[in-house]
Structure 1
Amino acid sequence: MRPELVQPVSLARAAASLPEGSPAITPAPGTAAGAWDVEVTGISINSAQVLPGDLYLALPGARHHGAGFAAGAEAAGAAAVLTDAAGLDQLPETALPVFLTADVRRLVGPLSAAVFNSQPQDGSAPLLFGVTGTNGKTTTTYFITSLLKALGRTTGLIGTIEILAGAEAIPSVLTTPESPQVHGLLALMRERALDAAAMEVSSHAISYRRVDGVVFDVAGFTNLTQDHLDLHGSMEEYFAAKAELFRADRSRRAVVTVDEEWGRRMAEAAGTRGVTLSTSGAASDADWQVRSVQREGLGHSFELHGPQGTPLRVRTGLPGTFNVSNAALALAMVLESGADPAAVQDALDRQDPFTVEVPGRMQLVCEAPAAIVDFAHNPDALQRTLESVRRPEGRVIVVFGATGERDQTKRPLMGEIAARLADVVIVTDDDPHDEDEAAIRADVLRGARSAAGQDGHGPLVLEEAPRAAAIYRAVELAGPGDTILVAGRGHEVWQEVKGVNHALDDRVELRTALAKAGFTVPTYDGVES
């Protein structure tokens, strides 16, 4: 996640580049003033990832202080250590220069930007798109990169499913990596002369300062619905975290979807640097507007009207009207970056870039029955997905659960939504982490059974675990004209139970179950294994 060549930067020069108001850096007692001349070629906040020449940033952690691991960083070749007063007290004896600051975390991003020279002002940095919101971030970033490729651009991607630096794929663990990795990746993309990159920007990434020091050329907002309240506490705090992306020092331009109140408030936060997008089809004074939405196979066609005058004709083969919103946002962001509308229309017509498959996002596994795997893991996403897969004929069978050690209030809400919109509800396990699986299922079942009622006219509600067994049960109940939706995990290939990762891919389990039941399953050589 780093460029091959990094120009060494002295600690004095790196410190001088920090934004005004940053915490001051001073040499620790015993560190000579000449240590400011020490040159570094990288940044690390993890002693196990230190490379020779790195500045090791020893941060306070939930259980341990990073200063306690400074010996490992020194052995790996670190050039210097930056920590706080508490870290200095725990620092083992070291020959490295040691520097102090009041808030190490605040300096991780800006120092990473300075050392890796990730976004120089000489025009060599890739055009950078950032997408935030509760749902749709992954698909929108895939749409952006697909459209840019159709325009002949070379692209990078940083997101939940994978990280791409041109043709090279790097497995992704976090929606947004830690700040040194982000800046290292941006510098790597610049070194490889990529034209543009798209990045998912989660509220965690903003709150934990993983995108500090990054400036987005165009930032986009999808929507805001209940999720991550275990971190943020309230929707107001959740909104405030997302709004940080639209500050003037973080994004030069913004496209904000204003289909609901949170979006309208986000547009206010973006101010004059932002333009608005309406995807509801209703009358609107938004700068960009989706109109003439028509069902076309599993997907939709539509028109995007905007300041360019002539509307653009667009289609996406991905199911769900929410993918119309995702496609419209991606398109508006690319146009706001300066792309020529005529060239964009030509690319839309010739290459159909919004029909790109997004792993685990409305991913079609089988057509009869229609079998779909999706990442829907919160109430709004589950509702939109269930509404989108309903067909005139046939039943909807949904398999889903809830994640352990996360917002518990959404569990019964998701159960209620499933019971209201599906014909068969199979409640199973998601990632329980260290929480009791049966207790999580009970929370979801409470909402489902409450909505199903006792009159016998509601959906069939079942509890089935483990998850693979629930998927097999859904296939057993399905006929060729039905729709099976396996929701919540999408592209994920591991299930965490009591600290142990178990191999589990919903797409693989669904394909296997369908084949064993005698259904015709298309061959696939995609990402899952």
Structure 2
Amino acid sequence: MSEQNDAVSIPTGNPSATDKPGFRPAVVAPVPLEAIAASLGIVLPPDSGGTSVTGVSLNSRTVEPGDLYLALPGATRHGADFVTQAVAAGAVAVLTDEDGARQLALKDLAVPVLIVGNPRAAVGTLAALIYRSRPLDGVSPTLFGVTGTNGKTTTTYFINSLLRALGMNPGLIGTIEILAGGEAIPSLLTTPESTDVHALLALMRERGLEAASMEVSSHALSFHRVDSVTFDVAGFTNLTQDHLDLHGSMDEYFRTKAELFTSARARRAVVTVDDPWGRLLADEAGIPVTTLSATPGSDADWTVESTKPRGLGTDFELRHRDGMALRVHTGLPGDFNVANAALATIMVLDSGIDPSVLQAALDSHDPFTVSVPGRMQLISDAPASVVDFAHNPDALARALKAVRPRSPGSRVIVVFGATGQRDQGKRPTMGAIAARLADVVIVSDDDPHDEDAAAIRSEVIAGARAARESEDLDCEIVEAYPRDVAIRQAVELATEKDTILIAGRGHEVWQEVKGVNLALDDRVELRAALTARGFKVSTDERIES
């Protein structure tokens, strides 16, 4: 996903992309411009005395009266191009770089302009100062941050659900939605821009929320979206190939993630050590670490033991090296959801919750059976039909293994694709994984962006066919597009005892093609196709047909 500011263009077709998000607290005490200049170590422009700021925005379309407008450089446009609109909307001051200042010198601006060498690096500091988002007065919400390649969304939902089971009123900042008490706010980014993050934290504090969980992506760390945010407990799920278009190598990807586990960003951590990256992180983290493993018998501080299937989910124990044990259940399928539930449990425990109180909440509320939109979301029982966000090799393999039916003669039918203008190296790998783990492989489109959709599909199909031939696999490989046609084809091929997995897009409701956002929700399309064939579907009210 792209940064939502004036320095980049936003694809057409998505009306929410330009709406003011409503993230802000109702009351913000004015901050003198002198204090802002002092925090940046710069001299206040002449005739700027008396100006005070009550908000901050990167986007001229979200500016409110009293804002400091941040005119940042971007890949295609400079934020200085939009200063006139920002001032018209009520901006009382502008912060920019030298290039922006040269552009603004040609404009007759009636507001002061602050100039810094790297304004992007200053955004978090300014937002924290203006919104007073994390004051050291003991009243800020306890903040949980989750990072890793896969499992961030589910783990934050699990944390949120467990906190509710404990009687708290928690907030949530993530891929799917933002919860600050009351109505959900749709999310445009895995982690919002730092201006919105700090406004949200201030809003949560204003509304009396006691805790909040947040997804922290590598993009968020790279683009300074969580600067000046200190998490009480940071959690790590896993690290597998993804986002190499941004980071270049797995080592650089890891180093970016590892920034969260420093004293500047978190107070303590829970790290899953079931892959080499997790073990390395636990060894190198600059904060106290509790280690966790979903592999029985490991030498981690906490291990998952005594797993037993119950329905689609799993009962298990979390056992500490000193003998303490917690009984846990998740109703979501897959070993990876056991790992997600385990991480959520230990992160909440490490925030200071008494183990007996935590166990009582686990026993009485079954918090890890919560439905997570687009994450192993069950649409129908017969055929078992699931929509999941699995969009990289590891996640696709985990999802396919999780949905494999136990009944003899049952087949797995998967529909998936690969995202355009992203890590191209994973495309044939994902095709090979599908060929190994599914009986019918239907390759379709994900979000092509500005790439040729047919070329993307061909790379995925090449990987699937190569694996089928070299490994003598017995699977059918089909190319079908557009995506709604592929979903209907999967349902047409299915019997009641088969399993359908629609992978890659999860909760997303827009498909970006050549700069245009087309309405497309895999859950809606799957429900419609199942209904047309007379199959019974779920009644989840969050899936809007």
Is the shorter-chain TM-score for this pair beyond 0.5, marking a shared fold?
yes
1:367 aligns with: 381
Alignment partner of 2:41: what SS? coil
Q: 1:270 Cα shift?
A: 1.8
Residue matched to 1:66: 79
Task: Determine whether 1:409 maps to 2:422.
Answer: no
Take 1:312 and 1:284, find their aligned partners in 2: how far apart are those partners?
A: 17
- Residue identity (%): 65
Match of 1:304 in 2: 318
Determine the structure 2 residue equivalent to 1:88.
Answer: 101
Q: Map Cα deviations across residues 194-219 of structure 1 (whole Å, 9 max, x no partner).
A: 00000000000000000001010000
Q: 1:24 touches 1:101 (CA, 8 Å); kept in 2?
A: no
Question: What is the alpha-carbon distance in structure 1 between the residues aligned to residue 261 and residue 471 of structure 2?
Answer: 50
Determine helix, strand or coil for the equivalent of 1:520. Answer: coil
| 2:513 alignment partner, one of 481, 497, 500 | 497
Q: Give the corresponding residue for 1:4.
A: 26
CA distance in 1 between counterparts of 2:488 and 2:98 reads 56
State the Cα deviation string for residues 376-430 of structure 1 (Å, max 9, x = none).
0000000011111112221111000011111110000000000000000000011
Quote the offset at 1:307 in angstroms. Answer: 6.3
Query: 1:94-125: CA deviations, max 9, x gaps?
Result: 01111111111111001100000001111111
User: Does the CA-based 8 Å contact 1:15-1:111 persist in structure 2?
Assistant: no
CA shift for structure 1 position 363: 0.4
> Which residue of the partner structure matches residue 14 of structure 1?
36
Does the alignment pair 1:341 with 2:355?
Answer: yes
Tell me, yes or no, if the aligned pair for 1:412 and 1:446 is still in contact at 8 Å.
yes
Equivalent residue for 1:264?
Answer: 279
User: Is 2:499 aligned against 1:477?
Assistant: no
Q: Distance in 2 between matches of 1:503 and 1:245?
A: 35
Q: Which residue identity does 2:133 align to in structure 1? A: S
Amino acid of the residue matched to residue 362 of structure 1? M
1:385 to 399, 411, 426: 399
SS at match of 2:422: coil
How many positions carry a matched residue from both structures?
A: 519
User: Over residues 356-376 of structure 1, what are the superposed CA-to-partner deviations in whole Å (9 max), with x where a residue is unaligned?
Assistant: 000000001111110000000
1:234 and 1:36 map into 2 onto residues whose CA distance is: 48
CA distance in 1, matches of 2:397, 2:463: 14
Q: Matched residues in 1 for 2:353 and 2:50: separation?
A: 44
Cross-structure match for 1:444 = 460
Deviation at 1:238, TM superposition (A): 0.5
Cα offset for 1:522?
A: 3.1
Aligned residue for 1:235? 250
Q: Deviations over 1:21-44 (max 9, x none)?
A: xx63234xxx31x52542100111
2:193 matched residue in structure 1: 178
Amino acid at match of 1:377: H
Distance in 1 between the 2:183 and 2:284 partners?
Answer: 36
Residue aligning to 2:68 = 55
1:93 deviates by 2.0
Q: 1:457 to 1:243 in 2, by over 3 A?
A: closer
CA contact (8 A) 2:162 2:367 kept: yes
SS of equivalent residue, structure 2 residue 358: helix
C-alpha displacement at 1:77, in angstroms?
1.1
- The CA deviation at 1:64 is 1.6
Cα displacement (A) at 1:79:
1.2
CA contact (8 A) 1:308 1:341 kept: no
1:15 and 1:151 map into 2 onto residues whose CA distance is 43
- Relative to 1, partners in 2 of residues 1:444 and 1:285: Cα closer, same or farther, differing over 3 Å? same
> Does residue 358 of the first structure (1) align with residue 380 of the second (2)?
no
CA contact (8 A) 2:309 2:315 kept: yes
SS at match of 2:307: strand
For the 8 Å contact 2:261–2:287, the answer to whether it is kept is no
- 1:528 positional shift: 3.6
Instruction: State the match for 1:226 in structure 2.
Output: 241
| Counterpart residue number, 1:133 | 148
Q: Kindly indicate whether the alpha-carbon contact (under 8 Å) linking 1:493 and 1:528 is maintained by their aligned counterparts in 2.
A: no
Q: 1:151: how far off?
A: 0.2
User: What does residue range 276-287 of structure 1 map to in structure 2 within 5 Å?
Assistant: 276-281=291-296, 283-287=297-301
Assess, with a 3 A threshold, how the Cα gap between structure 1 residues 194 and 422 changes in structure 2: closer, same or farther: same
| Equivalent residue number for residue 42 of structure 1 | 55
8 Å CA contact 1:127, 1:217 repeated in 2:
yes
Contact in 1 for aligned 2:524/2:543 (Cα 8 Å): no
Letter in 2 for 1:102: G
Instruction: Please show how residues 122-161 of structure 1 align to structure 2 within 5 Å.
Output: 122-161=137-176
What one-letter code is carried by the residue in structure 2 that aligns with 1:326? Answer: N
Residue 129 of structure 1 contacts residue 197 of structure 1 at CA under 8 Å; is this kept in 2?
Answer: yes
Query: Distance between the aligned counterparts of 2:56 and 2:287, measured in 1?
Result: 35
Distance in 2 between residues matched to 1:84 and 1:376, nearest whole Å: 39
> Offset of 1:166 from its aligned partner?
1.3
Misfit runs of 4+, over 4 Å = 454-457
Whole-angstrom CA distance in 1 between matches of 2:473 and 2:78:
57
| Closer/same/farther in 2, CA of residues 113 and 307 from structure 1, 3 Å limit | farther
Deviates more, 1:217-226 or 1:42-51: 42-51
Of residues 12, 16, 24 in structure 1, which corresponds to 2:41?
24
**Distance in 1 (alpha carbons) for counterparts of 2:278 and 2:256:** 14
Alignment of 1:237-252 (within 5 A): 237-252=252-267
2:91 partner SS:
coil
Aligned equivalents of 2:172 and 2:284: distance in 1? 26
Gaps of 5+ in 1: none
Aligned equivalent of 1:324, options 338, 341, 344: 338
Offset at 1:527? 4.3
| Corresponding letter in the other structure for 1:249 | A
Question: Which residue pairs with 1:395 in the alignment?
Answer: 411
Judging changes above 3 Å, is the alpha-carbon distance between structure 1 residues 70 and 292 closer, same or farther for their aligned structure 2 residues?
same
Give the RMSD, CA atoms, in angstroms: 1.4
Which amino acid in structure 2 is aligned with residue 43 of structure 1?
A: V
Q: Residue 330 of structure 1: SS of its match in structure 2?
A: helix
Superposed displacement of residue 74, structure 1: 1.2
Asked if 1 retains the 8 angstrom alpha-carbon contact of 2:269 and 2:287, the reply is no
Could you tell me whether the CA contact under 8 Å between 1:247 and 1:270 is conserved in 2? yes
Work out the CA distance in 2 between the residues paired with 1:205 and 1:528: 30
- CA distance in 1 between counterparts of 2:304 and 2:150 reads 19
SS in 1 for 2:511: strand
Instruction: Evaluate the alpha carbon distance shift between residue 239 and residue 280 of structure 1 in structure 2; reply closer, same or farther with a 3 A threshold.
Output: same
The answer to whether the 8 Å contact 1:371/1:485 transfers is yes
- Give me the TM-score of the superposition, normalised by structure 2: 0.93
Q: Secondary structure of 1:518's partner? A: coil
1:467 corresponding residue in structure 2: 483
Contact 2:267 2:287 in 1 (8 A): no
User: Is the 1:141–1:199 contact (alpha carbons within 8 Å) kept by the matching residues of 2?
Assistant: yes
Kept in 2, the 8 Å contact 1:155–1:197? The answer is: yes
Partner of 2:9: none
- The 2-side partners of 1:183 and 1:527 are apart by 30
